[in-house]
A and B are shown apart, each in its own frame.
Chain A
Amino acid sequence: MDILITGLLLGGTYALIAMGLNLQYGMARIMNLANGEMLVAGGFAAFWLYNAGQVSPLLTVFLVAPLAFALNWLIYRVMLLPLVRRAKSRGQLEVDSILATFGLSFVAVGLMLMAFGGDYFSYSYLARPVSFLGDTYALNRMVAFLAAVVICGALYLWLERSRAGMSIRAIAVAPESARLVGIDVPRLAAIAFALGGAVTAAGGALISSFLTLDASTGVVFTLKALIIVIMGGVGDVRGTIVAALLLGVMETFVAALIDPGLTLAAAYLLFILILLFRPQGLFGQRTT
């Protein structure tokens, strides 16, 4: 039970890390390798505000999210839209966007180094034990998990129920046909991309309360997010959530019952198994 809850809490963290990339890759079709840097930037903001004025990371989220939304929207309009316009096929767009955002990640690391230095940053927020069903857990992880539930739930409902959400799902499935039914694809793709950035930065602000980050750790999170998104199925919110929780529980089980040294191996084993037997991901649509 204890292991299951610890695993679910870790899975919640993973969901926060991966959800933004899913929106950017799945909906806006941009394989954003600078995703981790956005997460670290969100964490930096939380760290800075907490140290400067004891601002709770939970409040920082509301500041960071709109800022990240605006910034990512700009990045999409200025830097990525020309690539989208130029691309003749989805494959070409993927290659181009990978190259462009790879470069962007270096720029982002450089900017953060300049602004904050290369030091580790870490602060204590809600680093208190809470008892739940007879075991103790870290309160900050609990809070991040609840926030992940809220964010993922809201996204899911929005995508499933609202008209804008439906349009975004439409461009994820068939961007060409979406245009034919009167959907403004560039505008919605920009919104999906910006939203992805906002979710990622918000996730960064939340997880910075219990992880130690520095300016160049972004790539670690990009990789983890990529694995989760691909496992869950590109462009499916449920898939990302399930994959994140699965990975969290799996890693915790292995760490607690077998050996903590094998968590990475277990994670990649799961990844390989899914790629072998369901290459489109857990909830992905088989491409025709």
Chain B
Amino acid sequence: MRRRTLAKGMLAAAALGLSLASAQAAEPLKIGAVGPKTGPLAGGAAVTFWPNVKLWAHDVNARGGINVGGEMRPVEIIEYDDQTNPGETIKAVQRLATQDGADFILAPYGTGFNIAAAPLFDRFGYPMVTHTAITDQTEELAAKFPDMFFTLGGAQGLVGSVVDILNELRDAGRIGNKVAMVNVADAFGIEMAEVARPLLKEAGYELVYDSSYPLGTQDLSPIVKGAKAAGPDAFLAWSYPPDTFGLTEQAMIEDLPVKVYYTAVGTAFPAFGAKFGKAAEGVLGAGGVHADGERFKEYAARHEAVTGAKPDYWASAMVYSSFQILEQAIEAVGSTDRAAVAKYIHENEFDTVIGKIRFDENNSNPAYWTVGQWQGGVFKGVRSTGREGAVPVRLKEGWK
């Protein structure tokens, strides 16, 4: 009995396969996607990276596919979980290139993982449009890996904008001179703090509290208490999502009386606004988008409809834009010739959900969002290096 149903099922499946095959004569484009589904970065990737992979494949296939030299080819995504382990990222890229025969590979998630995978992308000749890599070393990297592109900006830009906001508020007499700064003791946090220290000093700020904490610290109250005791006007945290949430909860409990409150990664997540509600108002964070722009609104609505979740207010749109760049370049070149696609990316401007993107001589996107702020339940971009739609910064007025 069981065998017979199994046989029937197989027959049905075979028939279905045949009809599908005849309906879609064009061979799908194989696109590799590598990112963490488990491990410490999985939470961030689940907000920012994976939903966009799904959305992009959905959008492209709903249009009938990518137009490759007159033939509409749907995309087939081959996903690998790198377990937040650079070794696994490298293995997955190698596998995609040599065994799966991927036509193109989407850049992995996270700065370190992109740098780890760059030599392989380079060796196999895949153009690499990164979306979640934050680095100041674009010049060196671009020289080493000619087809590696950068979209999300660097520490100088992200930190520079924060100092710029402090300057603006101080010069207007709205805040004083004392800054408390903390950072997570991990590559990102350490680099940001090291960029920030000289910038703050140069601008004449007094660093009244400066401290780091290990990744995964379960009680951040000593840090917030220490910062509060130092009596700062501004509190800056170069933090990761779990500590962004943890620090903000403690700041709320301690009623941290600062006029400027900044936490880095995770502040732009919709979950941040959902958790803190009114207390989130006026909180500054890394990232931002032109939240009131039609293009972002339309993208956010589609993101929510297809994936069931809201995009974040920073890298989500950039991730999707990086896929659009690849898509537009393939269509324009009209073939899967990877060298030609890379060349096209170097030489042309792209129209994406984040706006127009053209790479400079260091393969970098010069115009990116740097700081956003929760205003009226939406995280709006307040500073960028040349994007339109920034709104004025407000002071943090209490935690109620």
Contacts and interface: CB of A to CB of B under 8 A. Distances in A.
Contacts of B253: 127-129, 136-138
Q: Which of A109, A117, A215, A217 has the most CB of B within 10 A?
A: A117
B223 interface: yes
A127 B211 CA distance: 24
Nearest to A106: B38
Contact of A124 (B50, B241, B276): B276
B324 interface: no
Nearest to A221: B218
A156 interface: no
A260 interface: yes
B222 A252 contact: yes
Contacts of B219: 6, 9-10, 13, 141, 248, 251-252, 255
B325 to A, nearest CB: 25
B249 interface: yes
Contacts of B46: 117-120, 214
A210 interface: yes
A260 B38 contact: no
Given A136-B254, A220-B216, A214 B222 contact: no
B240 to A, nearest CB: 10
Q: Which of A6, A216, A263 has the most CB of B within 10 A?
A: A216
A260 B221 contact: no
A114 to B, nearest CB: 10
A255 B245 contact: no
A246 B215 CA distance: 21
B70 interface: no
Contact of B249 (A121, A210, A248, A256): A210
B214 interface: yes
A33 B219 CA distance: 23
B249 A127 contact: yes
B214 to A, nearest CB: 4
Contact of A260 (B47, B50, B213, B242): B213
Contacts of A13: 218-219
Contacts of A109: 38
B245 A215 contact: no
Interface of B: 37-40, 42-47, 50, 84, 182, 185, 211-214, 216-219, 221-223, 225-226, 241-242, 245-246, 249-250, 252-255, 266, 269, 271, 275-277, 309
Given A3-B222, A119-B309, A141-B221, 9 more contacts: A113-B37, A117-B309, A118-B43, A119-B47, A127-B252, A127-B253, A129-B253, A255-B219, A260-B213
Nearest to A139: B253
Contact of A120 (B43, B84, B222): B43
Nearest to A211: B218
A130 B185 CA distance: 30
A106 to B, nearest CB: 8
A10 B218 CA distance: 8
B271 A256 contact: no
Contacts of B277: 124
Nearest to A224: B218
A106 B43 CA distance: 16
A216 B39 contact: yes
Given A124-B249, A256-B226, A138 B221 contact: yes
A129 B43 CA distance: 28
7 contacts: A2-B225, A10-B218, A124-B276, A212-B241, A260-B217, A260-B226, A263-B214
Contacts of B38: 109, 113, 118, 215-216
Contacts of A220: 216
Nearest to A267: B214
Contact of A129 (B39, B42, B255): B255
Q: Which 7 A-B pairs have the closest CB atoms?
A: A118-B46, A214-B43, A255-B222, A260-B213, A120-B43, A261-B212, A212-B245
A212 B242 contact: yes
A261 B222 contact: no
Q: Which of B50, B219, B252 has the most CB of A within 10 A?
A: B219
A122 B271 CA distance: 7
A260 B254 contact: no
A215 B254 contact: no
A118 B45 contact: yes
A38 to B, nearest CB: 17
B47 A120 contact: yes
Contacts of A150: none
Contacts of A117: 46, 309
Contacts of A215: 38, 42-43
Contacts of A138: 221, 249-250, 253
Contacts of A216: 38-40, 42-43, 84
B43 A119 contact: yes
Nearest to A215: B42
B252 A118 contact: no
A261 B47 contact: no
A184 interface: no
Nearest to B244: A212
A118 B50 contact: yes
Nearest to A2: B225
Contacts of A248: 219
Interface in A1-39: 2-3, 6, 9-10, 13
A259 interface: yes
Contacts of A251: 219
B138 to A, nearest CB: 29
A85 B214 CA distance: 42
A2 B229 CA distance: 13
B42 A256 contact: no
Interface in A121-180: 121-124, 127-129, 136-138, 141
Contacts of B250: 138
B220 to A, nearest CB: 8
Contact of A121 (B213, B214, B222, B271): B271
A251 B42 CA distance: 27
B275 A259 contact: no
A261 B45 contact: no
B111 to A, nearest CB: 19
Given A216-B40, A260-B217, A6 B269 contact: no
